[in-house]
Amino acid sequence: MTGEAIPSPHKGEGKGEGSSTRVYRRPVPAGWWARRSHYFWYIVREFTALPMALWLLWLLIDIRSAAVRPVNFHPQTSIAFVAFSVVCLAFALYHSFTFLSLAGVIIHVKVLDRPVPSRLIVLSQFALWAVASIVIGFVLIWFAR
């Protein structure tokens, strides 16, 4: 416990009849995340989900347009869309890299009652990521023919 008083959801409960418990909430400045680089990169990582979600929604809308009106469908080729896609790719790579780097901390595996080193777990995650990327790239190129 931190020693902070927890407010009671019901009136009258606490130290005495009619007493109210006050909780101290330390004020947090608006730019708290910009003060340390560790916090800054954490917030950037959390933000990466938003542009990726927008890009995926755009992709789903394009897939729907291609299915409904295949004759009138024209894929996005504008400079703005290509630039947005490149930014989203950078965000996706950063998000994936930071997530997979934590695999050694999150995953604990024992083989013959001996723990697998976290470095090996992280390397295996990156290897699987590379293999999956190659397979997906090959399939996309093969279907594009």
CATH of the domain at 68: 1.20.1300.10
Domain count, the chain: 1
Outline where DSSP puts E strands in the chain: 110-111, 114-115
Residue 94 lies in a domain: yes
Q: What is the mean pLDDT of residues 118-137?
A: 93
Tokens standing for residue 141: 């190129």
Residue 75 lies in a domain: yes
Tokens standing for residue 62: 């394009």
By residue range, what is the domain housing residue 105? Answer: 36-144
Query: For residue 81, what are the contacts with CB-CB under 8 A and spacing of at least 6?
Result: 58
Q: What is the mean pLDDT of residues 102-125?
A: 88
Residue 90 lies in a domain: yes
Quote the pTM value.
0.67
- The pLDDT value recorded for residue 38 is 87
Please indicate whether residue 137 or residue 109 has the higher confidence score (pLDDT). Answer: 137
- Taking the C-alpha atoms of residue 49 and residue 52, their distance in angstroms, rounded to an integer, is 5
Residue 9 banded pLDDT, cuts 50, 70, 90: low
- Taking the C-alpha atoms of residue 140 and residue 142, their distance in angstroms, rounded to an integer, is 5
